[in-house]
Chain A
Amino acid sequence: DVKVTQSSRYLVKRTGEKVFLECVQDMDHENMFWYRQDPGLGLRLIYFSYDVKMKEKGDIPEGYSVSREKKERFSLILESASTNQTSMYLCASRVMGLAGGSNEQFFGPGTRLTVL
């Protein structure tokens, strides 16, 4: 059973703080993703990584960076948190199948970040 874990369920930070959100998966998946989930906006992709040290910007990368030093771990970094980054953050992973393959994305439980 695939397990995707996120370091915190709830996080409260102050404006300007540097914030690290950690995600770990235990199924040796190549692909990992960070989304934010907002009411009325659905899930929007921030960044994804298709291999160690590889990353690509998603739809809303501004204000975020990522790190993938090990295959199982994908970190989302808010260099200087702002109130508009208050959101639910979801991590996901997926095995690298055939190009365009329908391999499922497995999601973590989410981290609800509040920036004051």
Chain B
Amino acid sequence: AQRVTQPEKLLSVFKGAPVELKCNYSYSGSPELFWYVQYSRQRLQLLLRHISRESIKGFTADLNKGETSFHLKKPFAQEEDSAMYYCALRKAGANNLFFGTGTRLTVIP
């Protein structure tokens, strides 16, 4: 069975500091991994997906199959990054996503 683990429920960093939100997964096949973000009073939205290998709002995430991780990183946190972040996995051939429990990031001015 698949599983997505986000070990930190809460994470606080100072503005300008690096930030890393951890995500580990368990799945025997080839997964697709995503990060979704929910800003205050806004709907949940896609931040980035591993196959795109893109940087969005300064965030990057690399799929490490050896460590089964997909950590989200940003070198310099901004106040507007404060939000709830969810890691999600889609199994090969599936339509639905499995979400982690989320990490609430607070960037302290």
Q: CB of A64 within 8 A of chain B?
A: no
We find that the number of chain B residues with CB closer than 8 angstroms to chain A is: 25
Interface string of A15-55 (1 = CB under 8 A from B): 00000000000000001010100001111110010100000
Q: When chains A and B are docked, how far (Å) is the Cα of A60 from the Cα of B99?
A: 13
We find that the number of chain A residues with CB closer than 8 angstroms to chain B is: 26
Residues of chain A having any CB pair with chain B under 8 Å: 4, 31, 33, 35, 40-45, 48, 50, 58, 90, 92, 94, 96, 99-100, 102, 104-105, 107-110
Q: Jot down 10 A-B pairs with beta carbons below 8 A, ordered by A.
A: A4-B43, A31-B95, A42-B86, A90-B44, A100-B93, A102-B52, A102-B90, A107-B45, A108-B43, A109-B43
Residues of chain B having any CB pair with chain A under 8 Å: 6, 9, 32, 34, 43-46, 49, 51-52, 86, 90-102
